[in-house]
Amino acid sequence: MLSQRQPVRGFLCSVGLDPEILVRFQFNPGQITDRRAVSYATVNAPGGLMPQLHYTQGGERTLSFNVRIDGLFSGPAEESVPIARGDDGSIVPELNKYRAFLYPETEDWEEAQASFVPIYTDLQHFRSPPTCRLGLGERVIPCVVTDVSITETLFNSELEPIRAEVSVSLAERPPYGERGAVGVGGS
């Protein structure tokens, strides 16, 4: 008999937050867009056929993808990695995991319901949203979530979502203290 392997699930996991925000993708993304641009300055010189281009800086690397969440069906690894559901079967708790990456870091993120605003009424100090790691098989990328767009596509009788498409955009975080480019003749 052939042994069946559990499929590898992609994930998003907060860094340094307790309790951590852990999203294991119920269904892995069908495609991932990986984009990075760099900047050049245009330098015009008299009599030049074309302007010269001089590298000025690197741009951020952004990754974006869509995932599907379905509260009616199990994903390929649902037995070992179930999605979070409400008492009414809604997927709001799972959707709130994605939303929590865009709000100021708080240990109370699991208390969010229809809105995150009430959990910040006593906020005294501004904190940025949590940093995270994106795991895609062997690739683990330190990043920050920059955009989440949720399209709820199916609802239960109480109008709570039970199926949704989630679009996620992230920016890779370079290692702390990364050295900038070294000029000509530098070390």
| pLDDT tens-digit readout, 152-182 | 999 999 999 999 999 999 999 987 654 443 3
Phi/psi for 115 (5° steps) reads: -145, 150
What's the pLDDT at 168? Answer: 98
Q: Which of 41-45, 106-110, 124-128 has the lowest mean pLDDT?
A: 124-128
Q: For residues 18 and 15, what is the distance between their CA atoms, to the nearest angstrom?
A: 9
CB–CB of 134/170 below 8 Å? yes
With 90 as the cut, is the pLDDT of residue 22 above it? yes
- SS3 sequence, 17-35? CCCCCEEECCCCCCCEEEE
Give the right CATH number for 11-172 from 1.10.3470, 1.20.120, 2.60.40, 2.40.30.
2.40.30
CB–CB of 27/40 below 8 Å? no
pLDDT band at 187 (very low <50, low <70, confident <90, very high): very low
Say which residue, 21 or 185, is predicted with more confidence.
Answer: 21
What's the pLDDT at 3? Answer: 57
Can you give the residue ranges of every domain in the chain?
Answer: 11-172
Q: How many DSSP H helices and E strands does the chain contain?
A: 1, 7
What's the pLDDT at 183? Answer: 36
In whole numbers, what is the pLDDT of the chain averaged over residues?
A: 86
